[in-house]
Amino acid sequence: MGERDEVKLLGTWYSPVVLRAKIALHLKSVDYDYVEEDLFGSKSELLLKSNPVYQKVPVLIHNGKPVCESLNIVEYIDETWKSSGPSILPSHPHDRALARFWSAFVDDKWFPAFIAATITKSEDTKAKGMEEVEEGLLRLEDVFVAISKGKPFFGGEAIGLIDICLGSFLVLLKAKEKLNGEKFLDESKTPFLCKWADIFLSDEMVKNVVPEIDKVAKFIREFEDRAQSVASRS
Amino acid sequence: MGERDEVKLLGTWYSPVVLRAKIALHLKSVDYDYVEEDLFGSKSELLLKSNPVYQKVPVLIHNGKPVCESLNIVEYIDETWKSSGPSILPSHPHDRALARFWSAFVDDKWFPAFIAATITKSEDTKAKGMEEVEEGLLRLEDVFVAISKGKPFFGGEAIGLIDICLGSFLVLLKAKEKLNGEKFLDESKTPFLCKWADIFLSDEMVKNVVPEIDKVAKFIREFEDRAQSVASRS
């Protein structure tokens, strides 16, 4: 791409899905301006104009044109800065289909279960959610073994789509483990995923853009306290 | 691709999402074996083995390797039979991102509203759903005008991803209009979408693979009667 590329990312510092865009931009060595949004205060005009349907972050704005939805943004970055850095999606159509399928599984099936397991109040919903979270991680352990073929990442030697997608939730998982003592990533059940998580979070391309676990834990605690106080007032 | 390609599609005749795979295969002139699944009876071993996570159709099996989820299958077909027929996804990354974004909008936001508007029993949910269906269609009308640029399809001169995605629901829409007298596609509100729908359904690539509206309407009526009788017995 030309030198006059203007790249802007609208995000919030704690958002796992914003982290996906940051990692992808970092992998492709793309310079960008980062704009922090205040989702609890008032959203910027730029956000409302750029993502009128969902009014959510992340939004990537490239030479004035917005791209929304985190996995869509990651694919856009991969396709736009094709020759810069390793490919985020595999080259063979079947491997690409698998990467898209399992990333959608993480977002559409596994993460909603995680939310049910950690945020809902009903004990039944929580227990069912926790069961699905564990089942999902066992499934992803099998997927990792099958497609990484002894290499460090889902993407093989380099970080790929599933790595970015699942990896973006690791800090949230670890913050939740710290706060509530639940164990999500368990060495005895998913040893390969545990090892992968360590390698992913300490990778050069990742470690400088992920938020600190303690800071995220503090943010979650404050958010939950606020929600609690609103609920008890109503 | 080589002549020895073995392509199998697991589906049900009435499913809009299965229709997507059929249209994409047709656009790319791919020969395939179609296997009709009985989702109300017992699912085939092949389906359970090929899509263990969701156990749903469509599943495309190409030389023994399964691909699941309809939009994922369409992208796979586009990438695998690249040089055969026109591209289903646009070539520019930003246009591709738009095609993926609006297709996901149809599946994740518009279609759930359609289901709420037509299937739920509560009058409030129905009315809210109907409002969202109409809002969604107005939005898609604007998208059509913006990206088709006077050409017949969302994809321009040829059928593209959004055409296949939204177009796959047209028979269901028309069957529902026939059954219940609701009006979804209204000339006075979304004239461009109405015209697009006619062109899409009468296109050579589409008209031989879509199910008949009357047959789908009869299927829905029988399905609803059965659901009603189960509900009144319990």
User: What is d(CA B154, CA B44) in angstroms, rounded to the nearest whole number?
Assistant: 36
Residues A33 and A128 in one domain: no
Residues A10-46 have pLDDT tens digits of 999 999 999 999 999 999 999 999 999 999 889 999 9
Secondary structure class of B150 (helix, strand, coil):
coil
For residue A119, the model assigns a pLDDT of 84
Q: Which of A79, A94, A139 sits opposite B65 (nearest CB)?
A: A94
Q: Based on the fold, state whether residues B159 and B196 are members of the same structural domain.
A: yes
A45 and A158 assigned to the same domain: no
* Cβ–Cβ gap B72/A100 under 8 Å: yes
Residues of chain B with pLDDT under 50: 1
CATH (domain of A57) = 3.40.30.10
Q: Indicate whether B1 belongs to any domain.
A: no
* From A69, A94, A100, residue closest to B101, measured CB to CB: A69
The whole-chain average pLDDT of chain A stands at 94
Residue A165 and residue A68 share a domain: no
pLDDT of residue A234: 62
Percent of chain A with pLDDT over 90: 86
Find the closest chain B residue to A69 by CA distance. B101
Domain of residue B59 covers 7-80
CA angle A20, A25, A30 (to 5 degrees): 170
Could you tell me the CATH number of the domain that includes residue B203?
1.20.1050.10
pLDDT at residue number B3: 59
pLDDT of residue A233: 74
Distance from CA of A147 to the nearest CA of B (A): 14
* Interchain proximity B96–A80, CB inside 8 Å: no
> Cβ–Cβ of A53/B105 closer than 8 Å?
yes
Beta-sheet pairing, B7-11 with A65-68: unpaired
Can you tell me the ipTM of this complex?
0.95
Q: What DSSP letter does each residue of A86-129 carry, written as one string?
A: S-SS-SSHHHHHHHHHHHHHIIIIIHHHHHHHHT---HHHHHHH
Q: What pLDDT, on a 0 to 100 scale, did the predictor assign at position A198?
A: 98
Quick one: pLDDT band at residue A3, thresholds 50, 70, 90?
low
Q: What is the nearest CA distance from A140 to chain B, expressed in angstroms?
A: 11
Say whether both B100 and B185 belong to one domain. Answer: yes
Q: Domains in chain A: how many in total?
A: 2
Q: For residue A98, give how far its alpha carbon lies from the nearest alpha carbon of chain B (Å).
A: 7
Q: What is the pLDDT of residue B228?
A: 78
| pLDDT score, position B121 | 76
